[in-house]
């Protein structure tokens, strides 16, 4: 999994029932950019330009200088991607269980409860019905703010339900993929979600449904090796990190330097595993065009 160096603390969820406080932007345990004051200004990890935070956010969280795409949480994604007010969230009540009673340094329960408190969501995926440029879709968005969008039973179940809904409604299925892969704290149950979601996509495909997969930074592990790579059309955000095994593990295994740009969206485009690399501002129109050609 990629380090979260570059990432400024993304905006808090726009739930509307609370004001943004300093706590939301400041996490004392992580200080990704020493020397740069938190909040108003941020330093781009690619071009190192100091940019006004608000301006970058207005620019869809893309650096105004060099087009670096910041990671954004699922709530922000919704506001950026679908027609305003059209998102109808579904199955938000589903919440993780801890059947393994998993404990590492802290318990799994503590981990997900902390994330639930921080994000205001029950797990790392938003799913629901929505419209994109007036075209009806079923959409699932993985939330990198929640345990790095790792896939446990809830994420798998919601994606599967969303796909089944898309099949039933005869609507295109859109998944914004992200995350470090299957959630270790759910062990085999998490691996099984790869199977379950892929099986649902097989049925969606058999029914003639369109599935557009959008790969965002980072898409790795079990997420990549299941629904992310099964899109009829696969779009990827500029410079997104996409791969099966993390670069560090590969470097340790093969003991040689990794090629320039290894596992970026552009690398996958060159190797033939991605249809189009898109700028975040074009995502809506790209999806709309594909639906016009291939959707029903």
Partner 1 sequence: MPQASDAYTGTFELEFERPLLALERQISELEAQADPNQSAVGLDPKLDFTADLKKLRQSHTAMLKKIYKGLGAWNTVQVSRHPNRPQTVDYINAFVKNFTELHGDRFYGDDPAIIAGFGRIGPHKCCIIGHHKGKNVKEKIACHFGCAHPEGYRKALRVMKLAEKFGLPVVTLVDTPGAYPGIGSEERGQAEAIAVNLREMSRLKVPIVSVVIGEGGSGGAIGIGVADRLAMLQYSWYSVISPEGCAAILWKIANPENNAKAADAMKVRAQDNLKLGTIDDVIPEPMGSAYRYRQQMYDTLEKYIIERLRELKRFKKPENLVAKRYQRLRKLGQISG
What is the contact surface with partner 1 in residues (CB under 8 A)?
A: 1, 93-97, 99-100, 102-105, 122, 152-154, 156-157, 160, 182-184, 186-196, 198-203, 205-206, 221-222, 224-230, 242-245, 249-250, 253-254, 256, 258-259, 262-263, 271-273
* CB-CB neighbours of 281 under 10 Å: 12
Cβ of residue 102: shortest distance to partner 1, in angstroms? 5
Q: How far is the CB of 47 from partner 1 (least distance, A)?
A: 27
Q: What is the per-residue DSSP string for 31-71? A: -SSTTSPSSSEEE-TTT--EEEHHHHHHTTTB-TTT--B--
Give 8 or 156: the residue with its C-beta nearer to partner 1: 156
Identity of the residue, 8 or 246, whose beta carbon is nearer to partner 1 in the bound complex: 246
The two beta strands, 125-132 and 135-142, are: antiparallel
Closer CB to partner 1, residue 66 or residue 90? 90
Decide if 239 contacts 198 (C-beta within 8 A).
no
Residue from 110, 139, 105, 144 nearest 13 by CA: 144
Nearer to partner 1, 249 or 289 (CB): 249
Pairwise CA distance, residues 131 & 166, whole Å: 13
Q: How far is the CB of 177 from partner 1 (least distance, A)?
A: 11
Minimum distance from residue 48 beta carbon to partner 1 (Å): 28
From CA 76, how far away is CA 70, in angstroms rounded? 12
């Amino acid at each position: 999994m990629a380090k979260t160096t570059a990432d400024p603390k993304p905006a808090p969820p726009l739930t509307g029932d609370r004001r943004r406080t300093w706590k939301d932007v400041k996490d004392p345990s992580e200080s990704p950019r020493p020397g740069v004051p938190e909040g108003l200004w941020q330093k781009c990890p690619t071009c190192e330009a100091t940019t006004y935070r608000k301006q970058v956010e207005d620019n869809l969280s893309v650096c105004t200088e060099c087009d670096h795409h910041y990671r954004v949480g699922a709530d922000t994604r919704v506001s950026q991607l679908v027609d305003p007010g059209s998102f109808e969230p579904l199955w938000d009540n589903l919440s993780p269980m801890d059947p393994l009673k998993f404990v590492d340094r802290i318990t799994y329960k503590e981990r997900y409860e902390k994330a639930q408190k921080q994000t205001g969501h029950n797990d790392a995926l938003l799913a629901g019905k929505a419209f994109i440029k007036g075209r009806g879709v079923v959409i699932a968005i993985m939330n990198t703010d929640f345990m790095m969008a790792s896939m446990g039973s809830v994420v798998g179940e919601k994606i599967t339900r969303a796909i089944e809904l898309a099949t039933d409604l005869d609507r295109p299925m859109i998944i914004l993929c992200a995350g470090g892969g299957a959630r270790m704290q759910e062990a085999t149950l998490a691996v099984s979600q790869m199977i379950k979601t892929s099986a649902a996509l097989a049925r969606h495909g058999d029914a003639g449904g369109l599935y557009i997969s959008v790969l965002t930074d980072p898409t790795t592990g079990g997420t990549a090796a299941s629904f992310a790579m099964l899109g009829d059309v696969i779009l990827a955000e500029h410079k997104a990190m996409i791969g099966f095994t993390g670069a560090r593990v590969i470097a340790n295994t093969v003991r040689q330097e990794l090629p320039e740009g290894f596992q970026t969206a552009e690398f996958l485009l060159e190797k033939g595993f991605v249809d189009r690399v898109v700028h975040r501002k074009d995502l809506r129109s790209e999806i709309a065009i594909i639906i016009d050609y291939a959707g029903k």
